[in-house]
Amino acid sequence: MQQAARAAAPPLAAARRALSRAGLRARCSAAVEGGAAAAEAGAEAPSGRRLRVLSGVQPTGSLHLGNYLGAIRNWVALQDTYDTYYCVVDLHALTAAHEPRELARATRSVAALYLAAGVDASRSTVFVQSRVPAHSELAWLLNCCTPVGWLNKMIQYKEKSRKLGDGECSVGLLDYPVLMAADILLYQADLVPVGEDQRQHLELTRDIAGRFNTLYGGRAWKGMGKGPAPSGRARGGRVLKPPEALIPPQGARVMSLDDGTSKMSKSNPDEGSRLNLLDSADTIANKVKRCKTDALPGLSFDDPERPEAANLLTIYQLCSGLSREAVEAQCCSLRWSEFKPLLAEAVVEHLRPLQARYAELTSDPTYLDGVLAEGAARANETARATLGDVRDALGMMP
């Protein structure tokens, strides 16, 4: 682990700098701590290519502030420094019951939200996961070297399968982290910006890559043939790159409006538990007005007995762009009834440009479909190279 931390230092330090330059001031901390601050390397892999970032969101339900503050918003700054791949992971949306007539619409809507939030299709590869068949194929190949015990231990699986029961819990739900590993490993991603809830899946991805490399990389792969591997690199060494998680210290876990101890989530049946990116100003004001509070005077970021106060102050800080000190000075002596209108206004104002851009983008489906087609072409090219190497290392017929 310590070795992993040292190896992780340069890309993580560079990622921090990228976010700082974008005015997000060190919002992204290393998922793996230890010496990262010391590193002053450029965002370049030893091979000379720019370091690669990959992330995605499922087109299930409405995207909310958690998806945005924990993931999408942080993607934007990374585009300046990294080779960024952002996908809409529609295959993941099939792991639970879904409405077929809604899926394509939801997929386009999530892609439009990426662009509306500031992802730039000329600097990032934006695509839909199922348009790159290599995701499904690599998932199968990785399934065959992933012990089922590793998947049974996943917290999200345990929680979701308990809620669904045996009759409704699909094999896909158990297997979803292997598909996620395939999503990441196909692009040899160095960094994966995600919210805190995905940390365990990222660790699993690293474990799967490590196991594949041990079983099929190195000398075993070297002995598989003469000349270069399908990707053009020399055979031998690791086939798959274990990625690092890039988790923001703030916004990494935005909590529900009705319970400050559980995360804001699309699947919560209570619509009032989340602030959706496309909620109207009135809806936001109403949800904030009704959200859970406590009976204590003033507001505090740090009191463990007051999870709602910490959550709402953090949302306020991130949406207003103020420093934590400024928020404390402004809000800590306020009553809830005084703070809530401020919070609602900050969220509405923060989302206003995003919503306007979203309206523009969705009024021109040809543009969006063009972006996604171009993104899929680029993604297919990168993915095919890795898949070719994996098939080669496994000894499959060329």
Binding site for ligand AQP (CB under 6 A): 57-58, 60, 66-67, 70-71, 194-195, 197-198, 252-254, 263-267
Closer to ligand AQP by Cβ: residue 156 or 330: 156
In angstroms, give the least distance from the CB of 107 to ligand AQP.
12
In angstroms, give the least distance from the CB of 333 to ligand AQP.
28
Closest residue (Cβ) to ligand AQP? 70
Q: Indicate the DSSP class of residue 236.
A: S
Helix axes 365-394, 336-362, angle to 10 degrees: 90
Residue 355 has a CB neighbour count (10 Å cut-off) of 17
Closer to ligand AQP by Cβ: residue 279 or 392: 279
**184/85 Cα distance (integer angstroms):** 10
Closer to ligand AQP by Cβ: residue 15 or 229: 15
H helical segments located in 23-170: 65-67, 73-78, 100-117, 134-143, 148-152, 155-164
Query: Which position among 153, 163, 222, 266 bears the catalytic label?
Result: 266
Q: Are 215 and 272 in contact (CB under 8 A)?
A: no
In angstroms, give the least distance from the CB of 27 to ligand AQP.
12
Closer to ligand AQP by Cβ: residue 259 or 345: 259
**53/57 Cα distance (integer angstroms):** 14
Closer to ligand AQP by Cβ: residue 63 or 208: 63
Strand partners, 52: 83
In angstroms, give the least distance from the CB of 266 to ligand AQP.
4
Strand partners, 69: none
**341/324 Cα distance (integer angstroms):** 19
Query: Which position among 160, 241, 287, 340 bears the catalytic label?
Result: 160
266 part of the active site: yes
In angstroms, give the least distance from the CB of 188 to ligand AQP.
19
Query: Which position among 222, 241, 263, 340 bears the catalytic label?
Result: 263
**243/52 Cα distance (integer angstroms):** 10
> How do strand 244-247 and strand 191-193 relate by DSSP bridges?
parallel
160 part of the active site: yes
Q: Are 190 and 243 in contact (CB under 8 A)?
A: yes
Known catalytic residues are 160, 263, 266
